[in-house]
Amino acid sequence: MLKTALMSVETMGLSSAYLPISQGLGGLLANFNPLGSLSEAYSRTLAYRLETKRLDAELAQMRHQADLAHDRIDKTFREHMGKLLEKRAVIDCYVDTLQKELGERRIERLELLSMARDATAHMLSPGISLEERQLCREFVTVLTAQLSALGNQGNQNLKGLLDILSQAPAPNQALLTR
């Protein structure tokens, strides 16, 4: 019977090597075997399941690689944030200390100015001896020199702050415009 089927395929001018399975010899056998189409459907289903499992494994591998990359990025981010927060804490501490010092210097300057004003007023008041006026004048000169020294010290502190702030990276303009 197989010989007859083969001869009929060859008499049609078709070689069984060039026919698809469903039309070639397998197709003829499938016509004679009622389980042939069922086994072909089962094998295709099995092939699809295998391909699905392979794709699932590939997806799992990609997710795992993404998790690893995310962990690396997260670790790097936390390290950089820690360094930046530490730098910020140092700068904030320095600025707070400097502001406190400048505030104290301002109070000292105001007190010195008040003392100089009082000494000048006392020096110009009537009934003061020449020697006392001379002492008041020298006292005002010393107070004025102290004011100058306090101003220079404040300027040095501000220069130190500017030096520290110039070492810090400039803020990102994109962050400032939001």
Over range 72-99, report the average pLDDT: 90
Upper half-sphere CA count for residue 103 (Cβ side, 13 Å): 6
Number of domains forming the structure of the chain:
1
pLDDT at residue 177 in the model = 55
Q: Given this model, what pLDDT does residue 54 score?
A: 96
**Residue span of the structural domain in which 75 resides:** 20-168
In a domain, residue 4? The reply is no
In the chain, % of residues over pLDDT 90: 24
Q: Is residue 46 part of a domain?
A: yes
What percentage of the chain has pLDDT greater than the value 70?
Answer: 73
The per-residue pLDDT for 151 is 80
pLDDT at 8 over 70: no
Taking the whole predicted model, whether its pTM rises above 0.85 is answered as no
pLDDT for 148 equals 83
12: in domain = no
Q: Would 176 be classed as within a structural domain?
A: no
Under 8 Å between Cβ of 65 and 57: no
Q: How confident is the model at residue 102 (pLDDT cuts 50, 70, 90)?
A: confident
User: Is 7 part of any domain?
Assistant: no
Range with the lowest mean pLDDT among 17-31, 73-87, 137-151, 157-171?
17-31
- The rounded distance, in Å, linking the Cα atoms of 20 and 22 is 5
How large is the average pLDDT for residues 88-109?
84
Dump pLDDT digits (tens) for 29-42: 556 666 667 788 88
Q: Is there a domain that residue 178 lies in?
A: no
Question: How far is Cα 97 from Cα 91, in angstroms, rounded to an integer?
Answer: 10
Give 26's pLDDT tier (boundaries 50, 70, 90): low
Q: Distance between terminal CA atoms of the chain?
A: 85
Q: pLDDT-derived band of residue 13, with 50, 70 and 90 as boundaries? A: very low
Is residue 146 pLDDT above 70, yes or no?
A: yes
Q: What 3 state SS string does 40-94 have? A: HHHHHHHHHHHHHHHHHHHHHHHHHHHHHHHHHHHHHHHHHHHHHHHHHHHHHHH
User: Which residue type is seen at 114?
Assistant: S
